[in-house]
Amino acid sequence: MHVLEKNLWALRGLRYPETQTQMKSFLGMCGVYRRFVADFAKIAKPITALTSTKLPKRLPLPREEETKAFEELIGRLLAAPVLALPRIEERYIVHVDASYEQLGCCLQGQQPDGEYHPIAYYSRALLPAAQKNYFATEIEALGVVWAVAYSRSYLEGAEVLVRCDHLALR
């Protein structure tokens, strides 16, 4: 799998968005390829915040963290990620990590050589009203449930190992 060449061409000449509409358009295009980018939600957080309805439609001059996030997303999309293809009846590992800001996971599949290679990366921000008030164990458990449910089409009927760094859930 790879990013379409016409989108790479468009990314190379992209300027920092000046309006919320342009920022939403950029984030939407990046969102199509978010599974190619590890920690997408964490990287995009500073510029995602600029799409809030509480802010003016015309964006202020970007701060350093916003410029860095914008350039990091473009750089990650321009670099050709190498993801393995999923294989039927193989083993999978779902690596899950959670913080008070986001959930993230990496789905790895066993390849014919016996090694495990990344198939996809997924991430999302926590919902501010409810999920950000969870305790650490609840957030980690939410991450495991979300990652397995999100990867369900790959995992159904396969042998799966879920890994997380939270001791209580091990």
Beta strands in 28-115 (DSSP E): 92-98, 102-110
The pLDDT tens digits of the residues spanning 82-133 come to 678 888 878 999 999 888 888 989 999 998 888 888 888 888 888 888 888 8
Residue 1 — very low, low, confident or very high, per pLDDT cuts 50/70/90?
Answer: very low
Q: Are the C-beta atoms of 96 and 140 separated by less than 8 Å?
A: yes
The pLDDT tens digits of the residues spanning 25-79 come to 899 888 877 777 878 888 999 999 999 988 899 999 999 999 999 999 988 877 7
| Distance between CA atoms of residues 139 and 98, nearest Å | 6
| Distance between CA atoms of residues 76 and 68, nearest Å | 12
| Distance between CA atoms of residues 77 and 63, nearest Å | 22
Q: Are the C-beta atoms of 70 and 18 separated by less than 8 Å?
A: no
The predicted pLDDT at position 70 comes to: 94
The predicted pLDDT at position 140 comes to: 92
| Distance between CA atoms of residues 159 and 36, nearest Å | 23
| Distance between CA atoms of residues 113 and 123, nearest Å | 28
The predicted pLDDT at position 3 comes to: 55
| Distance between CA atoms of residues 53 and 160, nearest Å | 41
| Distance between CA atoms of residues 162 and 144, nearest Å | 8
Q: What are phi and psi of 42, to 5 degrees?
A: -65, -45
Identify which has the larger pLDDT, 157 or 10: 157
| Token reading at 75 | 């750089």
